[in-house]
Chain A
Amino acid sequence: MAAATCAALHGAGVVLLDENAVPGGQVYRAAVPGVSGAPGPDARVGDRLRAALLASGAEVRSGQRVWALGGGPLVAPGAAPAPYRVDACTDAATATIEARSLIVCAGAHERIVPFAGWTLPGVMGLAAATILLKSQAVLPGTRTVVAGIGPLLAAVAAGILAKGGRVVGVVDLASRTDWLRQLPTLAERPPLLARGAGWLARIVSAGLPLLSGHRIVRALGADVVDAVEVAPLTGGVTRRLDCDALCVGHGLVPAIEATLLYRAEHVFDRARGGWVPVLDGSQRSTVPLLYAAGDGAGVAGAAAAPLAGEIAALAALADLGLLGTADAEQAIAVRRGARSRPARVGAAMSAMMAPPGDLVDRIPPDCVVCRCEDVTRAEIETAVDVGARDLNQLKHFTRCGMGPCQGRMCGEAAAELLARRVGSREAVGTWTARVPLRPVPMAALLDRFDYADIPIPAPAPI
């Protein structure tokens, strides 16, 4: 929203494509029609960003799933770069947009390190729970366990309580000392600290069992989850929490499919969520006129994101000749200064969300890692035994990552398991980015056509 607003206010022709019905992304997700959204700081900031976007003159195309990207450097060898091409669809139709430059603000997806029972109905991500809460005002269950690591943990628990729901346990991988260690950084952003304290106060005053330094051992249940077993990370007594929902997450992973597809350079940076595009100080990727901002450029949190979006827009305006270089640099410098503190805090939170390494070691052999293709940890280990040394060879050897989630659910765990055997995440690499970026209905692409109009190429030789 911020990038589009900034670019449009400076006179650029801007189109903003977004998968959701209303702009706002995950943090500023608006309630669906008929549901009164929760009032709060997120709602206020989100409304302000939406109002600015609306007033900016940018063309907003909501409910559009970007399924293909092309143009830019993706042209025949030797040819000059083409305009960027974006193909976006609804369930019924697809449309193509061309643009001179492209700013990718694709956000992040959630990391869940598999454990026994994680595929049971009733188990969902922390981010999924926030969608339920924010957009539908629906509780994940009647008795919910909230588990994992990072600020989302407290946010989801507090959100459930605020909606009158019941939380039967907060199972935090971080110890109390881990959190206390972050206090000086958090204190740099008093509003965030206050919100965190507010969440914590709500959790504590509700008398919830707050299990710090604990992990989920397994989720139990025949058809749906009906209990979880938790245990201290340091070993010790396993306890059982009865529940009908488990919200669990282990941090956020930048969504880099677009920048990967354009073959921009990426580096692995665990503290910022994993693989991130290499950017200059003004959000430029290594591909001309391709920019990235927000958590998709490295997890830095919602407060830092709009400033990064504006910096990307200003850089694009300068690169396109729509804004003088000196003016752009000055405007970028102001935002860079304003962004440094929230970015630092966001980065600290992101680093804290990196799950402890032994969580992956604890994945049981018979535990399904790739839930689309039913690939277990043992099958992944066997594939390594017989010669898979990188993520894409693992995919060939096992089908891990070939299903409808396109590797977004299993990729982190698979890559970590592989990295343990071959040495590093760098050696393991990334999935190759492929079109479609999301599964796309054939019906939306096909449209009406006559057989005679299909441009069938010359026949193969006989």
Chain B
Amino acid sequence: MTPQFDCAVIGAGVMGCTTALFLARGGMRVVLFDRGPLWRQASGVNAGTLTMQMTRAALVPYALQAWEMWMSTPGWLDGGDVLARARPGLSVAFTDHEVAMLEERARLRRQAGAPIELIDAARAVAIEPGLNPVVKRAGHCPIDGFTSAYLTGRAFRSALVAAGVELREGCAVHDIAPGFDLRADAGVLRAQRVVLAGGVWLEPMAAWFGVHLPIKTLINQLVVTERLPPVMRTVLGVASGLLSLKQYENGTVLIGGGWQGIGNRETGPIAVHPENLLGNIRLAAHTIPALREARLVRSWLGLEGETADALPAVGRLPGIADAWMIGCVHSGYTAGPYLAKLLAQAILGQELELPLFPIERLLTQEVA
């Protein structure tokens, strides 16, 4: 059987969709699988924050490039608007301990290229009048922002169809034999290359190839308010990274920050953790006091993967020719389009603008 596709991508979130899109535009015949509808796991349910101040320092150069991509989606993503908006970002500190953390983290990110300046309370309140004036210090990054994550899938889907990617939604891949023969819900399909882009499910996917790649699963909680009159105009976080707060143009305020809910990789999200919900909204209401007047309308959970060193896995699957992997990125949504564009460049044999994040460092190879 000759390969029907030049490349099969498994997992239709930000990583898989962007990789598939750029591979197809590079001339490859691409099939993209997801066991559910596209863009509905972490990529569709995250907070849509495009911030340098929650991005790991080593990822800042990538996130800066990705930020430009998000802000210019009409130029490369022809499937619709993702409501990307540039906003100033603040990371605030309320205690001396948080001030120390803020200064250290801002320094590391600034070294990596993020334009973060440290400002005092008066300046912070001038930039964000909704901010609690008891703030001690803040990191200010003029190029933060957000998208509406739930809308991104729609834009990508149309772009993928236009680029000629064959979409297999609701079609799980169960196993991959060398060659590659993909055993999927819809039967066996042959592809010359494969890209694993399954988020927290990269661990079981790597096991198809006998590769043991431990991935920790985070169960991040989010909660959104009803539409409110304007209460804030920045993208807000706290020094520890445990708050992400923004008000969309429709008036809703999204409260996140990675507080943990109940669930795991096998079961998926199970339930919001009530005490963590309370902690998260207290932190939000402390930061923007006007939120006390809001009503919460919905909460949900998303699964985020984390590698042993909490840096991405983007590159070749060691020991297996033509098998690639991309995922497990803190703030993966922010940096995703650029990382996936790089991976597509690597697969297409083009020169890379920035290096990938090789998988070898993360492996404990199974004994054959």
Contacts and interface: CB of A to CB of B under 8 A. Distances in A.
Give me the 10 closest cross-chain CB pairs, A-B, nearest first: A460-B241, A74-B271, A459-B240, A439-B295, A396-B150, A461-B310, A397-B154, A387-B157, A393-B37, A77-B264
Contacts of B264: 76-77
A456 interface: yes
18 contacts: A70-B274, A383-B154, A386-B80, A387-B154, A387-B169, A402-B298, A404-B295, A435-B277, A436-B296, A439-B296, A442-B294, A443-B292, A456-B283, A457-B259, A457-B260, A460-B330, A462-B105, A462-B108
Given A459-B242, A460-B241, A403 B297 contact: yes
Contacts of A436: 296-299
Interface string B85-129: 000000000110000010011001100000000000000000000
A418 to B, nearest CB: 13
Interface of B: 37-40, 44, 54, 56-57, 79-80, 94-95, 101, 104-105, 108-109, 150-151, 153-154, 157-158, 161, 167, 169-170, 225-227, 238-242, 258-260, 262-264, 266-267, 270-272, 274-275, 277-279, 281-283, 285-286, 291-300, 310, 330
Interface stretch (A48-56, A320-328, A447-455): A447-455
Interface of A: 68, 70, 74-77, 85, 87, 96, 383, 386-390, 392-393, 395-397, 399, 402-404, 406, 432, 434-436, 439-443, 445-446, 449, 451-452, 454-462
B295 A389 contact: no
Contact of B56 (A440, A442, A461): A461
A339 B41 CA distance: 44
A65 B291 CA distance: 21
A98 B215 CA distance: 35
A406 B298 contact: yes
A105 B93 CA distance: 46
Nearest to B309: A461
Given A70-B274, A442-B225, A396 B39 contact: yes
A460 B161 CA distance: 37
Contact of A397 (B101, B151, B241, B272): B151
A387 B151 CA distance: 12
Nearest to A87: B274
A452 B299 CA distance: 25
A74 B267 CA distance: 11
Contacts of B101: 459
Contacts of B275: 455
Contacts of B40: 392-393, 396
Contacts of A454: 279, 282-283, 286
Contacts of A460: 54, 240-242, 258, 330
B271 A70 contact: yes
Contacts of B80: 386
Given A75-B262, A443-B292, A456 B279 contact: yes
Contacts of B169: 387, 389
A397 B239 CA distance: 33
A456 B240 contact: yes
A281 B289 CA distance: 51
Contacts of B283: 454, 456
